[in-house]
A and B are shown apart, each in its own frame.
Chain A
């Protein structure tokens, strides 16, 4: 593991704050925005084991370490055998320094490396606080052959962030569009929830937030085998998709909206990788800027064994598969 020089200082701080965060999260409702962002940021970085801090959100306190902190996580000097996650973070940070319209966020998934652990599915749900009925990146499983001569293929399916997305033209109220960096965004405050875009997506990438809760139908507090408190904290915690705080309240967006994967835009913009990419234990998911000739994804997209799903639809996905 490679750490930056001042790693100890950071790690200590991180640990302290994580402890705090845990107790704080239980009373998430009482949080003020700035403090919560700070805590959340710390938690995220701690989980990454990469020292980093946010810059602009909380300049209120004079002795705040954030004030002196860099914009993006500090990365070690490049080495020959460094983890590709570090290289891809460097790719992301390089891209973030370019104007937004020169970035082209793309993902490559190496199906030969995917072991079907579904970690990406779950970490994505956790990152975006996805409720029951909403999933951004399921892993499809295909079984080939008959027992005992069976092999399995696993195909993670995020949003393809198409260059010609049929969903965008379907939306009757302009609530979804392609951003300059290529990510197909949904504005939860504008979406009326007609679900036409869901029918238009050839990949099934768009889902409807019916307002379900994982707690529905469970035994009430006291009767339950397991304490439901933790689950309630999870269910009520706000999501930070598109960098906006979205608490989960009845009849409020994102309930009643169409939702989908956004390449963890809120993370990318802080110089981090999408959660599915960092949580991939087989290092099968690659992410970066396809407009950057030096990025890892550009290198991979140039391989002859690259493919996209349903190429015949003419949607021109920005999620590629290595086969």
Chain B
């Protein structure tokens, strides 16, 4: 069992490091050549990177909300994966922010988002909200780990040193101090829930408020974003908890994963309902442009992304696994991984079809030039940068769980 675990662990490390190394080519290209080798341009201004950004930020928001089940709602069953879910939220948030940073035309001016904010812009709000969320996430993770940091600071080796450093000289771990941390955690977690909703809702609202793109322009858009975030983040957490939860192998773990499976199944059902509403209402042709976007999703060149990747691998297969084998840790893990990975297809199908329908009829043929096209498929560089930022998130997760007391468990002694 332990050997299998180590093998799998090794595979994840190998994948993360390999993708990180390969992805560096894309980063090099982006930094040296700018946007020249990217396939987004003037008419399709947003591509894979924006989709990857909303994808990973959704994973983060979803994982964070799962952590609030522990720290705010005190759901005993998830107690063991509180820190794990915070780490997942942090890793995916960093991946998301790095991706969108690469997407900016002038990366050196990113500070303007904070200091020259236009609060008439949803994007301006989003930047402040995710900055607040970022800080809250780090503080919350630190508080959640604090007790264990004190314990692991006594270890020798790198891990002990890191733990020692992160305590900032205060090794007090009295019950009063613990109670104080717990209280603070509850407060921060409570602030965190509306913050995560507002922040991911604002990511959805960025699209929802754009009247020029009928496919995006709907009050349902931010809600679909949120439900999608809870679904994909919860699914990712289910996969990670199935593999790395500290109480792995126990009956407690099995019942926790089964409950996670039920939660993601419910979220999946809600997500399908909302998608169904959006697609069927939009297809009614009241707004031809919106119907046009939906037709691109369902029957366009990339129909298989919706039908095969999303509906097949992201909905039907996981739903069957969860319905008929929801008690099996392995089944929930596979279902979670499938939903989490294929959710990129959903995000791509939000960003691109909204842009692929010309705002003005005749614009496509008015002038022929690179970048003035409504066809888009990510370039090699774009894929490489995407792979790099995903593997960056993966590495942060793997490093975090190795060098931080994420999986340390006060009750289950000796389990590491």
Contacts and interface: CB of A to CB of B under 8 A. Distances in A.
Report if A and B associate in a common complex.
Answer: yes
Interface of A: 121, 132-135, 138-142, 155, 157, 166, 169-175, 190-196, 198-204, 206-212, 216, 250-251, 253, 255-258, 309, 313
A135 B110 CA distance: 26
Contacts of B38: 210
Nearest to A138: B366
Given A174-B118, A208-B105, A200 B367 contact: no
Most chain B C-beta atoms within 10 Å of own C-beta, residue among A170, A202, A253? A170
Contact of B121 (A171, A199, A206): A171
A156 to B, nearest CB: 9
Contacts of A250: 34
Given A142-B361, A202-B211, 9 more contacts: A133-B369, A140-B360, A140-B363, A142-B362, A170-B122, A196-B121, A199-B210, A208-B40, A313-B211
Closest 7 CB pairs of A and B: A193-B105, A133-B371, A140-B362, A256-B105, A138-B366, A207-B42, A172-B123
17 contacts: A121-B366, A134-B371, A141-B366, A166-B210, A166-B211, A170-B123, A172-B117, A172-B124, A191-B106, A192-B112, A208-B41, A209-B105, A211-B33, A211-B34, A211-B36, A216-B36, A256-B104
A199 B113 contact: no
Interface string B201-229: 00000100011110000000000000000
B36 A174 contact: no
B116 interface: yes
Contacts of A132: 369-371
Given A191-B106, A194-B104, A200 B370 contact: no
B287 to A, nearest CB: 11
B155 interface: no
B294 to A, nearest CB: 18
Give the secondary structure class of B's interface: loop
B397 interface: no
B109 A192 contact: yes
Contacts of A195: 45-46, 105
Nearest to B115: A173
B413 interface: no
Given A133-B370, A190-B109, A192-B105, A210 B41 contact: yes
Given A173-B118, A199-B212, A200-B212, A138 B106 contact: no
A13 B121 CA distance: 51
A309 B360 contact: yes
Interface residues of B, number: 49
Contacts of A138: 363, 366-367, 372
A207 B362 CA distance: 16
Nearest to A168: B120
Contacts, number: 171
B112 A190 contact: yes
Most chain A C-beta atoms within 10 Å of own C-beta, residue among B33, B40, B127, B210? B210
Contact of B110 (A133, A134, A140, A192): A192
Nearest to B38: A210
B289 to A, nearest CB: 10
B188 to A, nearest CB: 27
Contacts of B369: 132-135, 212
B376 to A, nearest CB: 13
A199 B213 contact: yes
A134 B121 contact: no
A196 B205 CA distance: 12
A200 B213 CA distance: 8
A140 B35 CA distance: 27
B313 to A, nearest CB: 29
A172 B36 contact: no
B43 interface: yes
A61 B123 CA distance: 50
Contacts of B105: 191-195, 208-209, 255-258
Contacts of A198: 42, 45
Given A195-B46, A208-B45, A190 B116 contact: yes
Contacts of A256: 34-35, 104-106
A224 to B, nearest CB: 19
A212 B36 contact: yes
B132 to A, nearest CB: 16
B245 interface: no
Interface in B95-114: 103-106, 109-110, 112-113
A87 B176 CA distance: 85
Contacts of A190: 109, 112, 116
Contact of A139 (B42, B110, B116, B366): B366
A255 B358 CA distance: 24
B371 A171 contact: no
A173 B116 contact: yes
